[in-house]
Amino acid sequence: MKECKTLAEVREEIDKIDDEIVELIAKRNRYIHQAAKFKNSIDEVKADDRIEEVKQRVRAKAIELDVSPNLISELFTKMIDEMVESEIAQFRDTTNF
């Protein structure tokens, strides 16, 4: 991590990181759309066990990196909820020829 000399420089670095975060979320979402092709039902799309596994894993990672696990849980809950809805739509599109 670079040592910034001004507030403007700090903000510039934060903006770069924000862009990377959005790019990673977009990449994750593209994989979610691919996953829909391998599922046979809406229940498989919802995958409650997998969602819980992901949430526990990212909470542990947050703790390891000294980031609020509650913040990470809330972010991932929102992201997963939205992506599940998107995956359901993708699933319906691929199964309705």
The DSSP output letter for 41 is: S
Q: What is the pLDDT of residues 4-42, one digit of tens each?
A: 999 999 999 999 999 999 999 999 999 998 888 899 999
Instruction: Please report the pLDDT score of residue 33 as a whole number.
Output: 86
Question: What pLDDT does residue 97 have?
Answer: 47
Does position 94 have pLDDT exceeding 80, yes or no?
Answer: no
Tens digit of pLDDT for each residue in 34-68?
A: 888 899 999 898 999 999 999 999 999 999 999 99
Q: What is the pTM of this model?
A: 0.84
Which run of H or of E encompasses 6?
A: none
Tokens 């691929």 belong to 94
Residue type for 36, please? A
Within 10 angstroms of residue 6's Cβ, the number of other Cβ atoms is 8
Q: How many CB atoms lie within 10 A of CB 96?
A: 6
